[in-house]
Amino acid sequence: MNRYKKGWFGESHRHYLASKGIKTKRYLVNRGLYERREYCAKKEEIDKMGEFRPLKETEEEKRRYGAFVDNPHGEWLKDEIGAGRKTVTAGTFHLPMKTDKLLKVRGENEEETRMDSERSRERVKELAESMKEYGFAENEGILVWVDRFGKPTIAEGNHRIRAAKLAGIEEVPVEVRWINGGEDDSGEWGYKKLVRELDE
């Protein structure tokens, strides 16, 4: 078996890539360099990228969404990831988000696979009726975790999201927590896409 074939991501493969002058995504992330475009980048491309410029929430983002960023990057982030810890490095407390967008996100414990049960349907129906009468409770927002690769999961509120949809509520407040530098991801669940491009 060729241990270095494409798609094999063990330590030996990373060492092999390093010997060829290629730095892997994990190598770059652990050292605080910005590289979210591809899995691998050639050394000359890395040099062009320069040092990673950490995100910092603006006063307006703090005021409007309760946004915060607390990520020292570098060796600290490397140690957190290496130890297997899930550390919050950024977040929001009341970020408005489309219900339809949230319905596409999987539950942390695959709760979406159990939403067709009689108990869940009844719960969703009860919540929807309450929302129609009183609206969506601001203090009961949805909680979304976004891992370091930019992958989101619903930690709390799977029933409430479906109830809001049933009640005709198109937008709900969401608490987002980015884990181990996930806020730096350039995808649709990165900090810049969710917070800074919200009104664009």
Tell me, yes or no, if the pTM score tops 0.85: no
For the cut 70, the answer to whether the pLDDT of residue 69 exceeds it is yes
d(CA 63, CA 191): 16
Looking at per-residue confidence, does 185 or 33 come out higher? 185
pLDDT for the residue 45: 43
Least confident of 6-10, 78-82, 107-111: 6-10
Rounded percentage of the chain residues whose pLDDT exceeds 70:
72
* pLDDT over threshold 60, residue 61: yes
For 34-188, strand residue ranges (E) read 40-42, 68-69, 88-98, 142-146, 152-156, 171-179
Confidence of residue 15 (pLDDT cuts 50, 70, 90): low
- Hey, how many other C-beta atoms are within 10 angstroms of the C-beta on 119? 9
